[in-house]
């Protein structure tokens, strides 16, 4: 009886080894203030202006499942956890119109874009991988997961969640950048009565007094 059990286990492992090299079902999971209403043109050197940085702890998972002739050979699971730094920038025009109305300056900024590739700290990277019961591919699965990280991070950087965080921070950075220019080139004042309103593409101008 023991011999029969051992023989069956050996056959199952042999099937797993063969199926590993055949096509099978596979899936990946998660892996100067002048007159009111008169425009002012701010001249820049062009280029890119970094406006926001977002740090996050990201986790990546890849699952690989196989079966052979209806026999479930198990699922190999790999995970990576790492600290990621998302950076966002705007493309500076050489001439940037600023609409000044009294003590309010309205700036229409270009869209915020992620700086790619996204950076992550490999020294703090945590890895885990486990093969299915009749699988022999835990290292290959982990390597495939690592290769998928860069495009996955690029997609996440372009998503609404991180873009929203970047726009909130970027709005303040751009407002400060414009304020410094106005203080230098015009008779603008740094006080609560003077404010810079930053609008991104698609945002409507707020009503002004």
Q: Per-residue pLDDT averaged across 171-194, rounded?
A: 89
Paired residues of 54 in beta bridges: 86
Residue 39: predicted pLDDT: 58
Q: Give the strand pairing for 104-108 and 195-199.
A: parallel
> Of the ranges 32-36, 108-112, 186-190, which is most confident?
108-112
By C-alpha distance, which of 189, 192, 193, 188 is closest to 32? 188
Q: What are the C-alpha distances in Å from 198 to residues 40, 99, 156?
A: 15, 11, 25
Q: Indicate the SS3 state at residue 29.
A: coil
By C-alpha distance, which of 64, 197, 72 is closest to 137? 64
Q: Which residues, at least 6 apart from 72, have a Cβ–Cβ distance to it below 8 Å? A: 65
Are the beta carbons of 113 and 70 closer than 8 angstroms? no
Residues 71, 15: Cα–Cα separation, whole Å: 9
Per-residue pLDDT tens for 63-90? 989 888 888 888 999 999 999 999 999 9
Per-residue pLDDT tens for 4-31? 444 444 444 454 544 455 444 444 433 3
By C-alpha distance, which of 44, 142, 38 is closest to 93? 44
Residues 182, 165: Cα–Cα separation, whole Å: 26
């Amino acid at each position: 009886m023991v011999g029969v059990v051992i023989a069956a286990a050996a056959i199952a492992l042999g099937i797993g080894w063969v199926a590993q090299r055949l096509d099978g079902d596979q899936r990946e999971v998660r892996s100067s203030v002048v007159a009111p209403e008169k425009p002012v043109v701010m001249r820049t050197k062009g280029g890119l202006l970094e406006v926001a940085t977002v740090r996050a702890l990201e986790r990546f998972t890849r699952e690989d499942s196989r079966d052979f002739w209806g026999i479930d050979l198990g699922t190999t699971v790999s995970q990576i956890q790492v600290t990621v730094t998302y950076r966002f920038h705007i493309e500076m025009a050489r001439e940037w119109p600023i609409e000044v109305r009294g003590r309010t300056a309205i700036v229409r900024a270009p869209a915020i874009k992620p700086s790619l590739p996204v950076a992550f700290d490999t020294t703090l990277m945590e890895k885990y991988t486990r093969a299915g019961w009749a699988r022999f591919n835990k290292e290959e699965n982990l390597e495939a997961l690592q290769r998928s990280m860069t495009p996955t991070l690029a997609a996440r950087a372009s998503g609404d969640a991180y873009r929203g965080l970047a726009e909130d921070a970027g709005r303040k950075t751009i407002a400060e950048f414009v304020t410094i220019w106005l203080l230098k080139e015009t008779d603008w004042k740094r006080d609560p009565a003077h404010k810079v309103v930053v609008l991104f593409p698609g945002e409507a101008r707020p009503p002004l007094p």
